[in-house]
Amino acid sequence: MKAFVLQMFEAIDGGHWDRLPEFFHSDVTYDRPGYPTIRGFADLDDFYRRRRIIRSGRHTVEDVVVDGERAVATGELTATLNDGREVRLRFADAYRFADGKVAYRQTYFGTPAV
């Protein structure tokens, strides 16, 4: 599962939106500070392609803890926002899996609305 999470972040960091179906369930729910709850794969895809305020970024995953169909990842995000600002912040993600893909994701940041 750790390799799965690392590959997911590699796809996200690389802007490889066509790879999102490899990682996210069609009925995914994603809760993230600063955004309304994302519901379903089409909404998630739209978030990454159009609404996310991060222009580019790199996640450094420090730890992934797996417990059955649940996991938590922690680390740091270094990113450039759409307005040109540079940010560096801690993150934690909680996941629930279904059919080998992320069915629920909750992201926590050390700063709001990124």
Q: Is the pLDDT of residue 110 over 90?
A: no
Tell me the C-alpha distance between 74 and 66, whole Å.
12
Q: How does DSSP assign the chain, residue by residue?
A: -HHHHHHHHHHHHTT-GGGHHHHEEEEEEEE-TTSPPEESHHHHHHIIIII-SEEEEEEEEEEEEEETTEEEEEEEEEEEETTS-EEEEEEEEEEEEETTEEEEEEEEESSS--
pLDDT band at 112 (very low <50, low <70, confident <90, very high): low
Res 34: pLDDT: 86
Q: Is the pLDDT of residue 113 over 60?
A: no
Res 93: pLDDT: 98
Nearest partner of 94 among 14, 11, 29, 10, judged by Cα: 29
Tell me the C-alpha distance between 56 and 65, whole Å.
26
Please indicate whether residue 105 or residue 1 has the higher confidence score (pLDDT).
105
The domain segmentation of the chain, as residue ranges, is 2-109
Q: Is the pLDDT of residue 114 over 90?
A: no
User: Per residue in 43-101, pLDDT tens?
Assistant: 999 999 999 999 999 999 999 999 999 999 999 999 999 999 999 999 999 999 999 99
Res 1: pLDDT: 85
Q: Is the pLDDT of residue 111 over 80?
A: no
Q: Classify domain 2-109 at the CATH topology level.
A: Nuclear Transport Factor 2; Chain: A, (3.10.450)
